[in-house]
Amino acid sequence: MLLELQCHLSGMDAWMTGGTYVGVGVVEYDCPEYATLEQAKIDVERMTAVLTGQGFHSRILMNPRAGHVTGCLHPLDPGHSDALVIYWAGHGVFAGQDDLRLILSDTSAHAAQDETQRPGALVERAILTGATQIIVLIDACFSGAAVVEAIEMAAQMAPSQPAGVWVGVVATAQSFGTAIGGRFAEAMERILTTGPHGDEFRLRWSVHNQDIRADELVQAVNDEWVHDDQQLGSANSDSRGPYSGTRGSTHRHPRRL
């Protein structure tokens, strides 16, 4: 099996100048219990193209094994903005309420905690990069089970972090549902290149506004989602709990990206 492991930077000036994007795709697996996910590579590449096109510096990690993920979540480089977007595409295993195990290339069929990536640990590492506006996108089956753990980690770390750190988490499936590859990356590409369709977003996504807020992006993804057979789940560090496809959510807003 070919293991592709790369972590590199690229970027250009645009509307979210200097933000950092980390794309993680788990395509190949040592354990035959997990099917190869060619779509995960396609989706990471698609997300990379659209976000670098919007000014992000990109770090790409394909087929990570245990311990590899933290290598792409080191402190933000000097001169980069404090915006961080993490996109994870791969298999997820539901191990109980609010317990999602993200499968790595060397995870066994047992999917034990110490051989998988925990969503809470992903958020912890994201916050430790120094980013203050963080969006974590988990494109995996049963990913709704990750939302509570991820937001609880953000709340746990809040007292030791500078004021104003904002974390948003989007799961591409409910805790009991499957995620269909390609759908979420396509939706993100459309929103980030042409903007959302809803009238309520017209002013915030106007060509007269150079930037958008992180929460505006999360809300747009929820509100513009069209697949009734695959429900998104999301929450942020200002909300009291997960919500799914909520319109008109009122939370304390982060500043513009």
Side-chain-side CA neighbours of residue 140 (13 Å): 32
The string of pLDDT tens digits covering residues 102-156 is 999 999 999 999 999 999 999 999 999 999 899 999 999 999 999 999 999 999 9
Tokens of residue 185, six digits = 């990356």
**pTM here?**
0.86
Fold of 20-236: Rossmann fold (3.40.50)
% of the chain with per-residue pLDDT over 90: 59
What average pLDDT does range 94-98 have in this prediction? 92
Residue 250: per-residue pLDDT:
30
Edge to edge, the sheet with strand 20-25 lists 57-62, 20-25, 83-89, 133-139, 166-171, 233-236
Mean pLDDT across the chain, nearest whole number? 83
* Per-residue pLDDT at 61: 96
Q: How many angstroms separate the CA atoms of 240 and 219, rounded?
A: 16
- For the chain, give every domain's residue range: 20-236
Cβ neighbors of 244 (< 8 A, separation 6 or more) are 144, 174, 222, 231, 232, 233, 234
Q: In what order do the strands lie in the sheet with 100-103?
A: 92-94, 100-103, 116-117
Rounded CA-CA distance 20/246 in Å is: 27
Question: Residue 14: which pLDDT band, with cuts at 50, 70 and 90?
Answer: very low
Tell me: pLDDT of 7 over 50.
no
Of the two residues 225 and 76, the one the predictor is more confident about is: 225
Looking at residue 77, its pLDDT comes to 76
Confidence of residue 76 (pLDDT cuts 50, 70, 90): confident
